Every structure is written in structure tokens, then in C-alpha cells.
Amino acid sequence: MSPLRPRYMRVPSDPHELSGVPEKNADRRHSGDHPVGDTPAEEVPEESSRIAEGTYRQIRDYSLVLLSQGIVHRLERSPEGPFEIFVKPEHEPQALHQLELYRKENPPGEEHPPLPLSLSLQPVWVLLVPVVCTLLDFSGKVARMHSLGLSDADKVMHGQWWRTITALTLHGDARHIASNLLSGYIVLTLLSYRTPLARMAPFLAVASALANFCTVLTVQTDFRSLGFSTFVFAAIGALAVIEFRLMPRETHGQLRRFAPLCGAASLAVFLGLGENADILGHAYGFIAGLFCGFIPKKKALRWGTPTKLVDLVWVAIYFAIFAIGWKFALA
């Protein structure tokens, strides 16, 4: 009978269960904090046998299989990136057998499968900023919010730099914000499957503000813009570079490695051309986002990474960027 039943495939209720996985060269005094279940790491000696390596999700599932059979094990992360699982030498045959039964019932998929498109709550907190600011602007509860926050090239050139930030949170009408929220939700959802949004959103916000500033430098006078679309295009650029970095070098035909970049550029052109569209802002946003795509470490993109409490700091930084911008605008 197979050792695995659907109940063993549950996602751990604590999202930080694996956040304490030690690096392979970490101090062994801390190896007692086993990341999954209650299996004590000190029971697995140093001369233990490595039975598997893989992504964060794979090793998490393997650990649940071994826990279901009462097999003591230890998890580590190698300097190269993969997570590894170790057992006592005398438990190795049994552990390998159980994992083999698991793989037969759950054949491994592609190493980097196409990104799924499903509902996710991660983009919601990112989109909360433009939603709240736009609603305040439409309601008229904040006097002159629209005129104080939009990106006015002449005023930015005379020192009002914060407008490059606040303009991202304002919109012209309901149709404008609806289109940005829809496209933003889709792009940010795809991005969240590759890397936690908390670690990308602050950089995308800064990149979007820089893109608005580059637009001002290009036009310089008699130009006004607003909208979250610059942020969305920065996210498209970042996602394109991330997918490019994940493409195997041995892909048949080197031009195929550039498929994500070409596809993203085509999408950017399709979405960016329209009546009253800020074409320069979209272009600069996309280019700035390309640089953001190099921020995540490749081993984290390839092997996955658990969510950590420190990610809340990045979330706070994201909101602080816009709060600072509006503090100067409303002063």
C-alpha cells in the first residue's frame, strides 16, 4: 500500500515552517530547529545520507512523506541553491522506498512549467495604494489632491520631485483606474509565482518614479501625466527578465532564450498604445523594470524561497515610499 494519501499533501498551516531551513555551512548549533514537523534535527548525525534535493516545494512534500512514516530526517539548503534532505544511514533504504512510491503516484512535472493564472491575494495589497488615493481624489475629501499630486513636468523640473511618486496613485476617471487595476492584477499575479511581491514592490515603485522623472527630463515643459500604468509596465519588464534568466542556456536556438523579452515587449506595445496613453512613461517604466528583474537571486528563482517575517519590512517600505511622496505634496 502506498504511504501517501491526500492528507499528506496539505500545505503546512504555518507559512514559516520552512523559514528556518539552515544553509549547508551554517552553524550546526542552530540545526535543532527543524523546519517541518517536530522531527528533531539533532537525532540525525553529521555522517547522515543525503537522499534527495530539489526545490522548496519538493523538499517540503518529501519531508511530509517521511514524517508520515516516522522517519527522522534533517533539511538543509546547499550554497548552490537546492534544498536537501538527510536521514540516518540505517533509515536510507526505507526513506528512498517511500519517496519512490510517492514519485510514482505524483510524477514530477516540468522544471519551469508555464506560469499558472489563478486567483491570488498577493497583488491586492500592492494595488491598495492607487485604489485608496484615487477614491480620496474622486470623493473630494482632500482639497486639491489631483492638482497637487499629478506629474507636472514644469513643476517637477523646479524641484517638486515627489510628483513622480504621487502621480502613480491618481487616475483620470473610473475607466482609467479599472484598466490599470485589471492589467496590474494579472501581471503582479504572474510575478508572484516567481518571487514574493514584498521583495519586488518597493523596487518597482522606485523604478516607476524614476521612469516618470525620465519622462519629465525628455519632455521638460507643458506635460502632465498620472496613473499606475507606469508601475504595471515596470512589472512587465521585471517579469520578462526573470523568465529570460530561467530559460536554460542549452535551449535549442539561442534566439529562443529571448522569447520572454520579445513577448513582454510586444505586450507592452499592445497595452501602451492608445488614446491619451503616456507612451514615454510606459516605455521608460518597461526599461526600468528590466533592471528590477535582476534583483532576485537566480537560485531563489530556480529553487524557490519561503516567505519570512522580514518581508513585512519590505511591505512597510513600499507603503512608506508613497506616504513620503504625499507628505511633501500636501505640506
Q: How many CB atoms lie within 10 A of CB 28?
A: 11
The confidence score (pLDDT) of residue 2 equals: 30
What average pLDDT does range 32-38 have in this prediction? 41
pLDDT, tens only, 242-252: 888 887 665 54
The pLDDT value given to residue 174: 92
Helix axes 174-192, 122-139, angle to 10 degrees: 170
Q: Which of 303, 330, 317, 242 is CA-nearest to residue 56?
A: 303
CA atoms within 13 A on the CB side of 31: 20
Q: What is the pLDDT of residue 26?
A: 43
What is the pLDDT at residue 99? 87
**pLDDT grade, residue 7 (50/70/90)?**
very low
CA distance 172 to 155: 19
Under a CB-based contact definition with an 8 Å cutoff, are residues 292 and 200 in contact?
A: yes
pLDDT score recorded for residue 232: 92
The reply to whether the predicted model has a pTM over 0.75 is no
Distance between CA atoms of residues 164 and 149, nearest Å: 8
Q: Rg of the Cα trace of the chain?
A: 24
Interval 69-98 mean pLDDT:
83
Give the tens place of pLDDT for each residue, 174-224. Answer: 998 998 999 899 889 989 888 889 999 999 999 999 999 999 999 887 889
**What's the pLDDT band for 20 if we cut at 50, 70, 90?**
very low
- Burial class of 170 by CB neighbour count within 10 A (0 to 12, 13 to 18, 19+): buried
CATH fold for the domain made of 122-330: Rhomboid-like fold (1.20.1540)
Is 12 strand, coil or helix? coil
Domain boundaries, the chain: 6-105, 122-330
What is the reported pLDDT for 244? 83
Return mean pLDDT, the chain.
78
Give pLDDT, residue 51: 85
128, 310 contact by CB (below 8 A): no
Distance CA 163, CA 153 (A): 9
Half-sphere exposure of 192 (CA within 13 A, CB side): 20
Model confidence pLDDT, tens digit, residues 124-150: 999 999 999 999 999 988 889 999 999
Q: For a pLDDT cut of 70, what percent of the chain falls above it? A: 71
Classify the phi-psi angles of 148: left when phi > 0, otherwise alpha if psi is within -120 to 50, otherwise beta: alpha
